[in-house]
């Protein structure tokens, strides 16, 4: 066989391997098309709250002992999104943090939702949130900040009684490259996911190539900040590493958005990770949370509608931009069925994965969290108005 023939065989083999590896996510483009997506709603009751007050609340963090939830809401994501590659000219709104008292089931919205004051935070005019993490023992709150000046982690002391998050430090390190989600071990130690190696803010084509090939270039990093010194260690490689959670003391779970599934790791005594298993999910998972031994998984059923939804929000949610839009865009903005779908599921070792919600009424689900004691769940949407609150 000649060199040319060998090259053709090698190329065909490479393409076949790529298609085979990408089949699960490619199949979702057909199976989860909006015309075929089966809508499911297992909630006893639910409502979309605060739609006129907050939007783009990508992460929701429950402090279950107090019946409170911290919301990270960034309306500026419509014009500045370092993950999806949206970088528009003009002013960009900054993110805010809120406290939602979900145990007050009958309280008016003005009492149950309060904005946090960001104290001593010089960077609050360049604050663009993704994931949150919380250490209850020290009331330490971490927030991913995809600032225009570079991505970093902001560290706060949270005082829920005074409705204040006092800034303590900005955490930066070469291995904190594209931070997405975090889980804290203690006030000075946390695991972090980097979703990409190639940043959209540097090269949109390379970032998209990494996304669509599901190259395992995202990673999990262990960060330690004892004594003010930042130490970071790369532990695992995951395609589009997104949500991260702890189940018990010895299991770490990472959601891969482009190789759609849950990657399970055993935490070793030295903090390193050993891969143990992978569970595929029938959608593109985003953030994770845990309720006892149950893992809550939120994500996106169909990427094309999410991409269009992402690119249109700065027009649909802005009167000035909407007035300048063409007729097709105006029709799209006003079409309530033209929404990015949501998918929420729960997983446990005994029963596997169970879908709780798939619909477009509340779009672009990025986080679902649940308090089984108070029988309350909350969904936050990447580009949704308000939050969805359900009761069991």
What pLDDT, on a 0 to 100 scale, did the predictor assign at position 23?
Answer: 60
- Please report where in the chains the tokens 């999104």 appear, as a residue: 81
Contact 294, 347 (CB under 8 A): yes
Contact 95, 113 (CB under 8 A): no
What pLDDT, on a 0 to 100 scale, did the predictor assign at position 289?
Answer: 98
What pLDDT, on a 0 to 100 scale, did the predictor assign at position 19?
Answer: 54
CATH code at 260?
2.120.10.30
Residue of 366, 362, 359 whose CA lies nearest to 380 = 366
* Tens of pLDDT, residues 153-173: 999 999 999 999 999 999 999
Residue of 267, 287, 308 whose CA lies nearest to 133 = 287
What average pLDDT does this structure show over 360-379?
Answer: 97
- Give residue 302's pLDDT band: very low, low, confident or very high (50, 70, 90): very high
What average pLDDT does this structure show over 190-207?
Answer: 97
Residue 267 CA: distances (Å) to CA of 31, 167, 235, 271: 35, 30, 10, 6
What average pLDDT does this structure show over 264-289?
Answer: 96
d(CA 46, CA 376): 9
Ramachandran quadrant class, 90 (left: phi over 0; alpha: psi -120 to 50; beta: rest): left
d(CA 381, CA 385): 8
Q: Is 200 contained in some domain?
A: yes
**What radius of gyration do the chain's Cα atoms show?**
21
Q: Is 262 contained in some domain?
A: yes
d(CA 256, CA 192): 13
What pLDDT, on a 0 to 100 scale, did the predictor assign at position 15?
Answer: 47
Q: Is 7 contained in some domain?
A: no
d(CA 247, CA 178): 24
Burial of 7 (0-12, 13-18, 19+ CB in 10 A): exposed
Number of domains in the chain: 1
Contact 134, 142 (CB under 8 A): yes
Residue of 168, 150, 134 whose CA lies nearest to 142 = 134
* Tens of pLDDT, residues 120-135: 999 999 999 999 999 9
- Residue % of the chain over a pLDDT of 70: 94
Q: Is 167 contained in some domain?
A: yes
d(CA 110, CA 232): 42
Residue 129's domain comprises 29-391
Q: Is 168 contained in some domain?
A: yes
Contact 386, 51 (CB under 8 A): yes
Q: Residue 5 pLDDT > 70, yes or no?
A: no
Q: Is 21 contained in some domain?
A: no
* Tens of pLDDT, residues 172-182: 999 999 999 99
d(CA 191, CA 232): 9
* Tens of pLDDT, residues 64-89: 999 999 999 999 999 999 999 999 99
Both tokens of residue 341? 């779908």
pTM, whole model, 2 decimals?
0.93
What average pLDDT does this structure show over 187-215?
Answer: 96
The H-or-E segment that residue 64 falls in is none
Q: Is 196 contained in some domain?
A: yes
Q: Is 296 contained in some domain?
A: yes
């Amino acid at each position: 066989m000649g060199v040319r023939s060998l090259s053709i065989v090698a190329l065909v083999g490479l393409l076949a391997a790529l298609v085979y590896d990408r089949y699960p996510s490619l199949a979702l483009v057909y199976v989860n098309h909006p015309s075929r997506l089966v809508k499911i709603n297992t909630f006893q009751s639910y409502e979309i709250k605060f739609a006129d007050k907050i939007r783009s609340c990508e992460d929701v963090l429950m402090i279950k002992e107090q019946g409170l939830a911290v919301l990270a809401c960034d309306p500026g994501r419509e014009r500045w999104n370092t993950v999806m590659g949206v970088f528009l000219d003009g002013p960009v709104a900054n993110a805010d943090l809120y406290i939602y008292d979900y145990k007050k089931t009958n309280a008016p919205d003005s009492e149950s939702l309060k904005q946090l004051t960001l104290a001593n935070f010089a960077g609050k005019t360049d604050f663009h949130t993704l994931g949150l993490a919380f250490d209850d023992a020290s009331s330490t709150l971490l927030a991913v900040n995809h600032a225009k000046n570079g991505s970093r982690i902001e560290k706060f002391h949270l005082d829920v009684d005074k409705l204040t998050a006092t800034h303590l430090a900005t955490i930066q390190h070469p291995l904190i490259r594209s931070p997405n989600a975090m889980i804290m071990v203690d006030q000075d130690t946390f695991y972090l996911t980097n979703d990409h190696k190639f940043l959209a803010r540097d090269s949109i084509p390379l970032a998209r190539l990494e996304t669509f090939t599901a190259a395992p270039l995202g990673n999990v990093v262990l960060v330690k900040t004892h004594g003010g010194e930042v130490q970071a260690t790369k532990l695992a490689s995951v395609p589009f590493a997104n949500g991260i959670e702890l189940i018990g003391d010895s299991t770490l779970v990472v959601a891969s958005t482009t190789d759609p599934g849950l990657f399970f790791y055993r935490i070793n005594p030295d903090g390193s990770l050993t891969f143990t298993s992978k569970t595929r999910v029938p959608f593109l998972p985003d953030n994770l949370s845990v309720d006892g031994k149950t893992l809550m998984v939120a994500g996106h059923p169909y990427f094309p509608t999410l991409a269009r939804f992402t690119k249109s929000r700065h027009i649909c949610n802005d009167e000035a931009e909407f007035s300048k839009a063409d007729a097709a865009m105006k029709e799209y903005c006003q079409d309530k069925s033209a929404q990015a779908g949501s998918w929420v599921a729960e997983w446990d070792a005994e029963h596997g994965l169970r879908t709780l919600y798939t619909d477009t009424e509340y779009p672009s689900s990025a986080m679902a969290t649940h308090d089984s004691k108070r029988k309350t769940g909350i969904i936050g949407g990447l580009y949704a108005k308000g939050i969805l609150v359900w009761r069991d």
